[in-house]
Amino acid sequence: MDWKVLFSRFKKPDHTVVRKNLDRKLIRRINLHQLPKLSQLKYLGNFLNTTEKKIIISGLIIFLFGSLGWITVFLSRHYERAPKIGGEYIEGLIGQPKYINPIFSTTNDIDADIVELVYAGLFKYGKDGTIEPELAESYKLSADKKTYTIKLKPNLKWPDGQPIISQDVLYTFETVQNPEVGSPLLAAIQGVKIEVIDDLTISFTLKESFSPFLGVLTTGILPNHLWSEIPPASIKLAKLNSQPIGAGAWKFSRLIKDEGGNIQTLTLAPNDLYY
């Protein structure tokens, strides 16, 4: 016989332990939720000692800064800044525009700066210096590397609403090829055969292969429907050289001259038809 078990039956019960157990049972029956409610958490500090409070506060601080760190990393990878539409940018230039025309602008830095904003070419130079399509959608190079067949993007339009087609490209480069015009780009395009295949397709055939030729095709395109009526010998005198119409991201808005005829202010506005 186990005497300890026998004598334990005669021991006086510990009423404190019994009371605590009964209290726990009562609380469990009254409060079916095992976790404290938010309204009860404000009393948490009454049941924690100093060390426990420090541990909880430290954990909350680490969690807070860790969450902020992850949010910052997430935003930096997925957030992209974009310029706000509107406002005005003013730039002062020494000198004045002479020919805001892509077939003449290479001899004047001011002309070249404005031409880059107003006109668009078949191709353009990207941020890393590589050549990428602008008005062109695609191109094919023949097996002998002499013929470039260019496909224009569909539905392109000039600021006046007229469509941009292969005939505009043909006019631009044939004008450069005309010695009577006096374009400094003549040497780069001389001897190149240009042929319109359809409204959106045009080909350039070189006498010999020339790998940098796409760079020539970054020249801004002129609107044939506006320039074709001007005689080649009078192109440099045309009003369109100071009030240009191109297919670039910006379009001509206003020109102010002084009493001597010198250009004081040239204002450009966003081209809403820019692709």
At 52 the pLDDT is: 76
| CA proximity to 202, closest of 138, 120, 143 | 138
Binned at pLDDT 50, 70 and 90, residue 123 comes out as: very high
At 127 the pLDDT is: 86
In CATH terms, 105-270 corresponds, of 3.90.76.10, 3.10.310.40, 3.40.390.10, 3.90.1150.10, to 3.90.76.10
At 122 the pLDDT is: 97
Distance CA 2, CA 6 (A): 6
Contacts of 62 (CB under 8 A, 6+ apart): none
- Class of residue 159 by CB neighbours under 10 A (exposed 0-12, middle 13-18, buried 19+): buried
Q: Kindly report the pTM of this predicted structure.
A: 0.68
At 31 the pLDDT is: 58
Contact 205, 211 (CB under 8 A): no
Q: Which two tokens stand for residue 63?
A: 């969690």
Q: What percent of the chain has pLDDT over 70?
A: 78
Task: Identify the bridge partners of residue 124 per DSSP, sorted by sequence position.
Answer: 132
Binned at pLDDT 50, 70 and 90, residue 219 comes out as: very high
Mean pLDDT of 242-254: 93
Higher pLDDT, 227 or 73: 227
At 139 the pLDDT is: 96
Give the pLDDT confidence of 2-61 residue by residue, as tens digits: 555 544 555 555 555 556 566 566 656 655 556 666 666 666 666 667 887 788 788 888
User: Could you tell me how many residues make up the chain?
Assistant: 275
Domain positions in the chain: 18-78, 105-270
Give the pLDDT confidence of 200-217 residue by residue, as tens digits: 999 999 999 998 999 999
DSSP assignment string, 167-204: HHHHHHHHHHH-TTT--TTHHHHTT-EEEEEETTEEEE
